[in-house]
C-alpha cells in the first residue's frame, strides 16, 4: 500500500529473527511478570518490528513514517532508575500525585510510576512520547492483566488499547505517521502532523471507532 502511494520512497522493512524462548523466560524471571500471550507469540515470530518510509521533496527523500516495536532486550522498565546521574536525584516515582483523578466512569485508572505499576517501553515514538506495556496492579503480586498506554512528552498518560494485538493493528493502520498516537489524546495531533495525515490518510481515520 505504501509503495503505491504518490511521493513515497525507500520503504524499508528490517527482518528480525525470532526471539529464543529462553530469552523470553529470562526476561519474565528478571522482571517478575508474565508477558501477555499475544506479545509472547509475536516475539517468537520476530524479535521486534521496524519499518520506515520516506517522502520525496525536491527529489530528495525525507524520512517520515516509522513503525517500531522494541525487541525483547529493549523492552526496558520505566520509572525505576533516576532521571539524573546524581545521588538522591529525583525519579519518575517522585512525580506521583495521589490527587490525580483515578479511573471512574468510562476512564480507566492511570498507570503509576511508583511500585504500584510495572511499565515497559514498547515504542520510543521517535522522541514524541513512549508507547508502554503496563501492568497496572503490581502489589502485592503482579497481576497478569496488561494494557497499552501512551505516555506523552509532558508525562501524561493516555489509554490506547487493552491488548498488544489491537495496538499492533493501530500501528499498521496509521502507517507509522509522525505523532499518530496523539490522535488518541484530548489535544490531538499537531497542525504539521495533520497535514501529513491529509496527504497519507491512515487506512481509517475514525479513531473513536478504532479505540
CA distance 115 to 147: 17
What is the value of pTM for the model shown?
A: 0.84
CB atoms under 10 Å from CB of 191, counted, come to 7
CA neighbor of 203 nearest in space, from 17, 25, 5, 13: 5
Phi and psi for 48 in degrees, rounded to 5?
100, 175
Q: Read off the pLDDT of residues 120-165 as tens digits, 9 standing for 90 and up.
A: 999 999 999 999 999 988 777 788 889 999 999 999 999 999 999 9
Specify whether the CB–CB gap between 152 and 182 falls below 8 A.
Answer: yes
Which residues are paired to 86 by β-bridges?
none
Domains and CATH numbers, the chain: 8-78+112-209 (3.40.1580.10)
Q: Read off the pLDDT of residues 80-94 as tens digits, 9 standing for 90 and up.
A: 554 445 555 555 655
Q: What is the pLDDT of residue 91?
A: 59
Q: Read off the pLDDT of residues 156-211 as tens digits, 9 standing for 90 and up.
A: 999 999 999 999 999 999 999 999 999 999 989 899 999 998 888 776 545 555 45
Residue 11, all three cell numbers? 520503504
Amino acid at each position: 500500500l505504501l509503495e503505491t502511494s504518490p511521493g513515497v520512497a525507500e520503504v524499508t522493512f528490517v527482518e528480525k529473527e525470532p526471539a529464543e524462548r529462553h530469552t523470553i523466560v529470562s526476561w519474565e524471571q528478571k522482571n517478575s511478570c508474565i508477558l501477555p500471550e499475544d506479545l509472547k507469540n509475536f516475539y517468537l515470530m520476530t524479535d521486534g518490528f521496524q519499518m520506515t518510509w520516506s517522502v520525496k521533496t525536491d527529489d530528495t527523500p525525507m524520512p517520515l513514517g516509522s513503525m517500531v516495536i522494541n525487541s525483547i532486550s529493549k523492552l526496558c522498565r520505566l520509572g525505576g532508575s533516576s532521571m539524573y546521574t546524581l545521588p538522591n536525584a529525583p525519579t519518575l516515582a517522585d512525580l506521583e500525585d495521589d490527587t490525580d483523578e483515578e479511573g471512574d466512569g468510562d476512564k480507566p485508572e492511570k498507570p503509576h510510576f511508583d511500585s504500584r505499576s510495572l511499565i515497559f517501553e514498547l515504542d520510543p515514538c521517535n522522541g514524541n512520547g513512549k508507547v508502554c506495556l503496563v501492568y497496572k496492579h503490581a502489589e502485592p503480586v503482579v497481576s497478569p492483566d496488561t494494557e497499552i498506554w501512551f505516555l506523552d512528552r509532558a508525562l501524561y498518560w493516555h489509554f490506547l488499547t487493552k491488548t498488544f494485538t489491537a495496538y499492533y493493528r493501530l500501528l499498521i493502520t496509521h502507517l507509522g505517521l509522525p505523532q499518530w498516537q496523539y490522535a488518541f489524546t484530548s489535544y490531538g495531533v499537531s497542525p504539521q502532523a495533520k497535514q501529513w495525515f491529509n496527504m497519507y490518510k491512515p487506512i481509517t481515520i475514525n479513531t473513536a471507532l478504532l479505540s
